[in-house]
Amino acid sequence: MTGPRDRAVVIGGGVGGLAAAIRLRAAGHDVTVCERNDVVGGKLAELVVDGYTFDIGPSLVTLPHVLDELFRVAGTTLADEVELVRLDPQFRYHWTDGDSLTVHDDADTTAAEFARFSSGAGEAWRAFDARGRRIWDVSERTFFAGPMTNPLSLARRMRSPVDLVAIDPLRSLHRSATAVFDDTRLQQWAGRYATYSGSSPFRAPATLACIPHIEARFGCWYPMGGLGRLRDAIERTARRVGVEIRTGVEVARVLADDRRVRGVELLDGERLAADIVVANTDAAHLYEDLMPDRRALRRVRRAKRSTSGFVMCMGVRGATPGIGHHNVWFSSDARREFDQLTHGVLAAEPTVYACVSSITDASQAPDGCENWFLLVNTPPGVHVDREAYAEVVLDRLAARGVELRPRVEFVRTLTPADLASRYRSPGGAIYGSSSDGRRAAFARPANRGARGGLYLVGGSSHPGGGLPLVVMSARIVADMVAADRDDPARDDRG
């Protein structure tokens, strides 16, 4: 029998929302997901054009065990649901001086490649990786293990002050890279990992040095058929355990009294009663539109938005020599590039990331063709003239010997404004909130909402954006709901 605290509505069918729905359903709640788009997945989305398939959101899967843990909650496994391939090589990096570096799945091969690239860099890479390992091992059982409201909540999960030192929160990622790598190109390589949380290497904490370690240790993965198959698997699993998923349904209002949420009201006026409301929307949308709350909104605005992006999807005839599944062409001046982004302007000479998944998976492009997905970081909310900036990006590639224009069949672009309207992500922020600044981790909206029974899941709240992190946020929320159910007094707020 279900009790009054057992009905849950999830607003938004992004990966975090679906993951929370699966966990709440597994814990015995009646769960309905309301997604305003016609498909679930949110930013995990694909575009199919003329026989080409593009992953237009995430193109890289990391920490697959975090996803596997979610599937296991629902009585299945990641491997049973998706055919995942561990990529080797993982990435090809190119600099303006014409030098390139290939990062492999194997540590010895990668260290040898760094040593070949720059004198002493093999040992430096091992030292950087060892530091990343320490950071990850501590953050996994502290930062990622539970909610985060203030520095104390983190301190409580630490075993000793040594843990705090280990996660290296006070220096910037760039400073930690310069302490290890003499070669400025490798400092730029390390700094790029700040962009995995929509941040700048000159502002984000050195804690993010755990990300290259995560790739080296747990691999870079690709689901055959594209990331859309991972979305399908999560949706299928949610339905199988009994989650009700309603698409094309927009939530207009969270119904609440002074103490607790009571349900939601849809745009057409229908009301769904619930004692648990999980918002998978951006926290700003929640407190601005769905449940206006000035105090909560002020807190939300303390968190800086992550970068947005300019996306180009291109069907390209023929094979491009020297490219891999994941490729990066760096700018000539990282400092200038991130200064421009931080000051709200487009990088004049951007770093260009390209995913060409047809290298691994022939189903993603017609025979003999390539599916190019290009991503360039932009400030959130910036206006992008899509034709003009596409030329800037293609010029950058051409200058590096990759002239695609004569072979391009079509180009589709997404600007920050498109990302904002597709996913209702303010400014088109890719990751929700950024990690810029020492206090970023504490400024992020908490998973517990401003009324009893209200919870926040997904990229704008703790622990931040990226597929594994939003799946972790669903675990944190489900644990919180369970604790509140055992002790309702904890959760009632007035």
Q: Which of residues 31-70 bind ligand FAD (CB under 6 A)?
A: 34-37, 42-44, 57-60
Of the candidate spans 30-38, 83-91, 291-299, 441-449, the one that interacts with ligand FAD by CB under 6 A turns out to be 30-38
**Residue 326 found at the interface with ligand FAD (CB under 6 A):** no
Of the candidate spans 10-18, 154-162, 316-324, 475-483, the one that interacts with ligand FAD by CB under 6 A turns out to be 10-18
Q: How far is the CB of 444 from ligand FAD (least distance, A)?
A: 12
Who's near 372: CB < 8 A, 6+ residues apart? 312, 313, 314, 315, 316, 354, 355, 356, 404
Q: How far is the CB of 35 from ligand FAD (least distance, A)?
A: 5
CB 34 within 8 A of CB 264: yes
Q: What is the 3-state secondary structure (H, E, C) of 107-155?
A: HHHHHHHHHHHCCCHHHHHHHHHHHHHHHHHHHHHCCCCCCCCCHHHHH
Q: Which of 284, 467, 472, 477 is the binder for ligand FAD (CB under 6 A)?
A: 467
Pairing verdict, β 30-35 and 7-11: parallel
Q: Which of residues 100-139 bind ligand FAD (CB under 6 A)?
A: none
Q: Which of residues 220-279 bind ligand FAD (CB under 6 A)?
A: 250-251
Task: Show the binding pattern over residues 361-400: x = contacts ligand FAD (CB under 6 A), - = does not.
Answer: --------------x-------------------------
Q: How far is the CB of 32 from ligand FAD (least distance, A)?
A: 11
Tell the burial category of 6 from Cβ atoms under 10 Å away from its Cβ (0-12, 13-18, 19+).
middle
Total length of the chain = 494
227-241 helix and 15-26 helix, angle to the nearest 10 degrees: 30
Q: How far is the CB of 220 from ligand FAD (least distance, A)?
A: 10
Q: How far is the CB of 464 from ligand FAD (least distance, A)?
A: 8
Q: How far is the CB of 375 from ligand FAD (least distance, A)?
A: 6
Q: Which of 146, 201, 309, 453 is the binder for ligand FAD (CB under 6 A)?
A: 309
DSSP for 337-390? HHHHHHTT---SS--EEEE-GGGT-GGGSSTTEEEEEEEEEE-TT----HHHHH
Tell the burial category of 224 from Cβ atoms under 10 Å away from its Cβ (0-12, 13-18, 19+).
middle
What tokens does 230 get?
A: 């991972």
Q: How far is the CB of 289 from ligand FAD (least distance, A)?
A: 7
| Residue 276 host element (H or E) | strand 276-279
Instruction: Choose between 173 and 467: whose C-beta lies nearer to ligand FAD.
Output: 467
Write out the residues near ligand FAD by the rule CB under 6 A.
11-17, 34-37, 42-44, 57-60, 250-251, 280-281, 285, 309, 311, 375, 419, 423-425, 430-432, 458-459, 465-467, 470
